[in-house]
Structure 1
Amino acid sequence: MLKTVFVLYHLLGLCELLWANNVVSAITPKDCSLDCIQQGGSGCEYCRITREHVKEAVGFTSMKEFGSCIPWPCFDLLGKQDPKICQHYVQAPNDVMVEFVQESDPKSDTIVVSWKPSYYGIAFLRGFQVILQALGGSNIACQLFLFHRKLSLPASHSEMVYMSDPFPGLFLDSKYAVTVMALPVPEEWEHFYHSKIFSTRSCSEKNGLEQCKKDWYPTNIGIKQEGPTVTLTFNLAPPNLDIRSYFSLCYANGMTTYTDIKPNFTQNKTHHSFQMNDLQGDTNYTCQIAANEVDAVRKTFNVYVMPVQKEDAMSRSVAPSLVLILPLCLTAVVIILVLLAALTKKRPQLHISKLSIEPVLTSYEEQLYKASRTMEEVAFLPRDRPLTPPRLLICYSCHDCPAHIRSVMLLGAFIQQHMATQVILDMWETLSMAVEGNMAWYCRHIQESDFILVICSKGLSYKSEPPEPDDSNIEEELDFESNAFSSDTAVQLIREEVGRAKAKGRDLSKYMAAIFEYSEEEDIPNEMRLVSQYRLTTDLEVLFSHLHGVALHRPGGYLKINDFTEEGFSKLPAGAALQQAIYEAKIAMRAKDQRTMEKEDL
């Protein structure tokens, strides 16, 4: 009996292990013929579609840059026999992951994309299309995977993991965007894809720091100070990198000290020591050291230079000099006193008249005067702030009147000119957007900007209609670099990012929402109500405080900037232009609302 129970126990454990392996294992694509996929034969459950398949079914000849992707793969490859199977809604995939695959080429990376299908519409799922694009470039790689036409997945299959084929030859230390679309793709459906931005590994992450000339930097740094002399010791690069010179930079109190370093490799091939000159005592320095190569990685470290002790030398020099100087000082004091007494006797009436003219402050008035002086004292920016100004990306709606867009442009000009901030605005970078592409330009700046300001207005609630497809000019439909990705789409991406960040408990200080005086709080989308909100131009001081991390109030004082007061703001050319633009936009928005109401009454 005990033996039977023991055997059953092990059999159950083995069954559980096999079941777990089946659940976790990923489904990889297979080579199938197009006829097998269209007819629903066995062994064609998840198949890769090659360029030859697309050419055979559709007749395209110029598909090299897009791989096996086509705009409507379900309709063109499966829908000719049964159009109804390509007309259902299918939700976007979940849990899109990017995994790196080991390869022998040290100058490139290879990835594999994995995902899980959504259980919404999974019974009508016909396949997936995976698109990989380099941010800032036009290179596109695409893979298409289809199920055979008779396959219908159950809801429990949503826990299965599907994988793409490898994407080889990706540049190291570069940003890419991967998009996984669920098929079919009805034209009016918006939630059929999931995008993810990732970076390939750096040379040091893949090959090790000792094999990468660009990524190498000193890792062992020692500092020694003897009196006013500071000596720095660091490890040299390995000989195979052929790095012959180095440099160091030190920053403190707005001053920069540069040191050119040329080691003597005949004395020591592993370490080098040099003296850091021209450093002031009793000062904290932020220093960097790097190889003297283009775009080399810099190692940052801190150096505190101790004050130079001069008390003994001063005491020895002062003692003999006092013997000579003291009698002269006493004689000068006596002469000055005699002169003052003589002048006082000669001009008593003038002194009295001056005293009567000067105002006399009571003790209460003196307290008020001191309090007012205390409350208006200057508040300085933090000393540990970055050397470069913060980068602010401004997004807005393009569906309001031109006066609103002009207000946004003049707001960006004022912030950049008077608020020590680098403003990024699409109206100023049309050339770079044309080179990069709108999608890549916005994705890059959303990630790289320190802050994002969304100007909210009624136009944010406007939903544009998708363009009608034109079968006669299908090559133009393949243009992934079109200008359709506007600032409105960027605002939608930011709203989604804010929602995800709030759900995960992340910091939301990067995102801000603002309205002009002619807009209402109802114009702020629900997601943007989770972040800091400002009314412009009233809250310019608070916006400045947010951008630079300086407190508006502190015990005994508050931040007061003349440029942001009502009087000082209107005296600045940029401020006066912004006020005029907001006033004109207010009139134009009211006229637009009046015309809309008249149309609704008709």
Structure 2
Amino acid sequence: MWRAALVVFLFLAPCQHVWAQEGAITPQDCSLDCIKEGGPGCEYCRITRADVKTALGFNSFKEFGSCIPWPCFELLGKKDPQICQHYVHGPNNVEVEFVNEPNSESDTIVVSWKPSYYGIAFLRGFQVSLQALGGSSFACQLFLFHRNLSLPASQSQRVYKSDPFPGLPLGSQYAVTVMALPVPEEWERFYRSRNFSSRSCAEKNGLEKCKKDWYPKHIEVQQEGTAITVTFNLAPPQLGIRRYFSLCYANSMKKYTDISPNFKKNQTHHSFQMTDLQEGTNYTCEIAANQMDAVRKTFNVQVLQFLKAVSTPHSVSPSLALMLPLGLSVAAIFVVLVASLIWKTRLQMKKVYIKPDIIRQQEESGTQEGVMPLPRNRPTPPRLLICYSSCDGPAHVKAVMQLGAFIQQHMATQVCLDLWDSLSMAEEGGMAWHCRQIWESDFILVICSWGLNRRSKPSEGDEDDGADERLHYGSNAFCSEAAVKLIGEEVGHAKARGQDLSKYMAAIFDYSDETDIPTELRLVSHYILTRDLQLLFSHLHGVALHGPGHYLKINHISEDGFTKLPSGAALQWAIYEARMEITAKRHHSVGNEGD
């Protein structure tokens, strides 16, 4: 009886209108008799709660918690048990499509996919589930083929679609899973999952209709003397934003300006003056609505330096009788000096004669140092997620933490590290937190080590270790290692599809070997730290280290210069401690093997 109850939640999705695109297979309204008998017109059918009540004899539960892959046995396997005993590989090309709807506070999606040709002849249907990351919201839809249908391998390019999933709050993260039916007991590749985010209010409704996402788009800076005038566009009146603020900072100095526009004078733009700024200084400024968690618009202010005329007091002119002898003496001294310089120059030219073509060749071969500005098309610093393995001991974890602190402080990058976000991990769950960070981050850096590579390739003697891991599934360490495996799969999929791999990076500290990098991560850029800090900076900010007539030189991230900073010295000491600890462990393990 309880097994039948578990099946109930599979059929919670109500009947929806068909949202289709040309060439896609969309769900049909069918009867259970048509599905069981294999009649015409019921090739791809949605299962409703009414169908469940008809089949099981009682109403289904409104909430259950997860989808159980048994509908094939319950609905098709009673007459012919063999029909539900063959495995089917998980679907491919799972995509999420947003559907236009009038509700401005939620989104509606439709999921599409292609069946795999592995086991396609035994395919009996699909199950689509939607899970809110970090929450309890859950939805599930079930679609079945009639029992006589057998698809050939050529049908693996057909696109199947789900019914709409309505009412998704804007700006939320979800995981959608498409499962192929039937599901055997011992098979792991029967589903495909992908994470996505519902659209923000600005993406769906436009920036001018969203108070939380609104920010000034047009900013103009003018300087007259030492006065700086800033003009920006105001929010639409219907958003109710009445006050703004500006914050400028440079050389450890901050300048805050509270802005209260006069809406009776102008309802579209406002100008304000910034005072007490130092001349010859470049300021980075932000302007935003004076609201909680308002989006800030960044702009730059370059305060020009003006030379002030030096006034001298009027002096009494000396008499001509005194000025004439003095002027003649100065002229004579000047003539003597010029003559001596000309004579010395001729002597030097006689001693050393350098050909003009040699001088020209030397000038052309010399590398000229120039200024290479960073790209300014990014409004916020790049977001970097660091993943690692804690199997190499606390010293290795400390080195990772010091590396994250150094990158965030001195490489203009926002670092996401599970060690720093324990509260969010407790609220969302470790795996959900990592999935969200992988989705939202601009770059992902995997710190490879001996322990990480060992975990990714378990041996037969590691069965007990695997049991211990299952006991501590909620720990941050296990979730981080699981996230690394997920990243490796994403890299493999992106490589197979010919997509850009610049989001993913791998790195090792100098006490690890390049063989510690897992095979799938060798497809991406990998660095040795701290030797390649400048290469890592170049990757994060998209700036070349060398260019025509100039090169990138940042002293505090060079191989020798980073130790002059407090966080750089702490990073170097943490790497040294980790090296000593790991070396001692390896010598100990080698000694035990010898005994």
TM-score, length-normalised on structure 2?
Answer: 0.71
5+ long unaligned stretches in structure 2:
1-19, 318-370, 464-472
Alignment partner of 1:461 is 2:457? yes
How big is the shift at 1:306?
2.1
Give the structure 2 partner of residue 578 of structure 1: 578
Distance 2:83 2:178 in 1: 20
- Counterpart amino acid of residue 192 in structure 1: F
Distance 1:448 1:270 in 2: 33
Alignment partner of 1:541 is 2:531? yes
Give the structure 2 partner of residue 487 of structure 1: 480
How big is the shift at 1:234?
1.9
Contact kept, 8 Å, 2:530 with 2:559, in 1: the verdict is no
Distance 1:572 1:483 in 2: 25
User: The residue matched to 2:69 in structure 1 has which SS?
Assistant: coil
- Seen in structure 2, the aligned counterparts of structure 1 residues 394 and 505 have a Cα distance that, compared at 3 Å, is same
User: The residue matched to 2:141 in structure 1 has which SS?
Assistant: strand
Contact kept, 8 Å, 2:104 with 2:205, in 1: the verdict is yes
- Seen in structure 2, the aligned counterparts of structure 1 residues 95 and 151 have a Cα distance that, compared at 3 Å, is same
Contact kept, 8 Å, 1:127 with 1:184, in 2: the verdict is yes
Give the structure 2 partner of residue 446 of structure 1: 438
- Seen in structure 2, the aligned counterparts of structure 1 residues 429 and 417 have a Cα distance that, compared at 3 Å, is closer
Distance 1:322 1:507 in 2: 78
How big is the shift at 1:107?
0.8
Residue 97 of structure 1: which of 95, 98, 110 is its match? 95
- Seen in structure 2, the aligned counterparts of structure 1 residues 113 and 522 have a Cα distance that, compared at 3 Å, is same
How big is the shift at 1:147?
0.9
1:156-202, Cα deviation, whole Å (9 max, x unpaired): 32232211111111111222222222222234333322222222222
Contact kept, 8 Å, 1:51 with 1:63, in 2: the verdict is no
User: The residue matched to 1:541 in structure 2 has which SS?
Assistant: coil
Distance 1:108 1:502 in 2: 34
Distance 1:416 1:272 in 2: 41
- Counterpart amino acid of residue 305 in structure 2: P
- What are the equivalent positions in structure 2 for 1:582-597 lying under 5 Å apart? 582-587=582-587, 589-590=589-590, 594=593
Residue 517 of structure 2: which of 521, 524, 531 is its match? 524
> Once structures 1 and 2 are overlaid, which stretch shifts more, 47-56 or 121-130?
47-56
Give the structure 2 partner of residue 512 of structure 1: 506
Distance 1:571 1:211 in 2: 46
Residue 433 of structure 1: which of 421, 425, 443 is its match? 425
How big is the shift at 1:292?
1.3
- Seen in structure 2, the aligned counterparts of structure 1 residues 231 and 104 have a Cα distance that, compared at 3 Å, is same
Residue 410 of structure 1: which of 398, 404, 414 is its match? 398
Contact kept, 8 Å, 1:23 with 1:160, in 2: the verdict is no
- What are the equivalent positions in structure 2 for 1:66-81 lying under 5 Å apart? 66=64, 69-81=67-79
- Counterpart amino acid of residue 394 in structure 2: R
Distance 2:280 2:416 in 1: 39
- Seen in structure 2, the aligned counterparts of structure 1 residues 232 and 37 have a Cα distance that, compared at 3 Å, is same
Distance 2:444 2:571 in 1: 28
1:100-142, Cα deviation, whole Å (9 max, x unpaired): 2222211111111112222232211111111212223231221
Alignment partner of 1:560 is 2:560? yes
Distance 2:457 2:139 in 1: 34
- Seen in structure 2, the aligned counterparts of structure 1 residues 171 and 531 have a Cα distance that, compared at 3 Å, is same
- Counterpart amino acid of residue 76 in structure 2: L
User: The residue matched to 2:150 in structure 1 has which SS?
Assistant: coil
- Seen in structure 2, the aligned counterparts of structure 1 residues 174 and 225 have a Cα distance that, compared at 3 Å, is same
- Note the aligned Cα RMSD (angstroms): 4.3
How big is the shift at 1:454?
3.6
- Counterpart amino acid of residue 170 in structure 1: L
Aligned residues: 494
| Identity over aligned pairs, percent | 57
User: The residue matched to 2:199 in structure 1 has which SS?
Assistant: coil
Distance 2:71 2:282 in 1: 63
Give the structure 2 partner of residue 5 of structure 1: none
How big is the shift at 1:545?
5.3
User: The residue matched to 2:202 in structure 1 has which SS?
Assistant: helix
1:189-237, Cα deviation, whole Å (9 max, x unpaired): 3332222222222212222222221122223333222111111222222
- Counterpart amino acid of residue 583 in structure 2: Y
Contact kept, 8 Å, 1:49 with 1:145, in 2: the verdict is yes
Contact kept, 8 Å, 2:281 with 2:303, in 1: the verdict is yes
1:73-120, Cα deviation, whole Å (9 max, x unpaired): 333433333332223232222232222222221111111111222223
Distance 2:398 2:69 in 1: 40
Distance 1:484 1:578 in 2: 17
1:365-405, Cα deviation, whole Å (9 max, x unpaired): xxxxxxxxxxxxxxx9988899998765443457xxx5x24
Distance 2:273 2:554 in 1: 45
- What are the equivalent positions in structure 2 for 1:365-444 lying under 5 Å apart? 393-396=385-388, 404-416=392-404, 420=408, 424-426=416-418, 432-444=424-436
- Counterpart amino acid of residue 542 in structure 1: D
User: The residue matched to 2:121 in structure 1 has which SS?
Assistant: helix
- Seen in structure 2, the aligned counterparts of structure 1 residues 188 and 515 have a Cα distance that, compared at 3 Å, is farther
Distance 2:296 2:554 in 1: 41
TM-score, length-normalised on structure 1?
Answer: 0.70
Give the structure 2 partner of residue 346 of structure 1: none
- Counterpart amino acid of residue 190 in structure 2: F
- What are the equivalent positions in structure 2 for 1:338-377 lying under 5 Å apart? none
Contact kept, 8 Å, 1:68 with 1:143, in 2: the verdict is no
- Seen in structure 2, the aligned counterparts of structure 1 residues 81 and 489 have a Cα distance that, compared at 3 Å, is farther
1:473-503, Cα deviation, whole Å (9 max, x unpaired): xxxxxxx999998434322221122234445
Contact kept, 8 Å, 1:103 with 1:110, in 2: the verdict is yes
Contact kept, 8 Å, 1:389 with 1:420, in 2: the verdict is no
Alignment partner of 1:213 is 2:203? no
Contact kept, 8 Å, 1:133 with 1:178, in 2: the verdict is yes
